[in-house]
Amino acid sequence: KAGVTQTPRYLIKTRGQQVTLSCSPISGHRSVSWYQQTPGQGLQFLFEYFSETQRNKGNFPGRFSGRQFSNSRSEMNVSTLELGDSALYLCASSFGQGGPSETQYFGPGTRLLVL
């Protein structure tokens, strides 16, 4: 079974632009979560989706948004990019309801560099 896939793997953008990142969960997984990883802040939760509904959201500005499609694939969008948005963005999927005891399986990440 294929793992979580994320596209693109690398991105370079300039300040003020917007970006869309894509995540395909493991087949059969219905919950998708997104995390931002930076050297200064570590791994921070962005949002979680289940059945096309956002169930939880982290403490990020409204420039960060996401959605989930009926096939469980997910996208996240960052508008008006800032230098501080440079990070590794990780997507994770889990089987079932996505509850606290369920393992999250992580993709390789999309590395975003904002110039």
Residue 106 contacts another protein per CB under 8 A: yes
Task: Please report how close the Cβ of residue 61 comes to another protein at its closest, in angstroms.
Answer: 18
Residue from 1, 2, 10, 42 touching another protein (CB under 8 A): that is: 42
CA separation for the pair 76, 69 (Å, rounded): 12
Q: What is the DSSP string of 55-108?
A: EEE-S--TTEEEEE-TTS-EEEEE-S--GGG-EEEEEEEESTT--TTSPPEE--
Residue 60 contacts another protein per CB under 8 A: no
Return residues touching another protein (CB under 8 A).
4, 31, 33, 35, 42-45, 48, 50, 55-56, 58, 90, 92, 98-101, 103-109
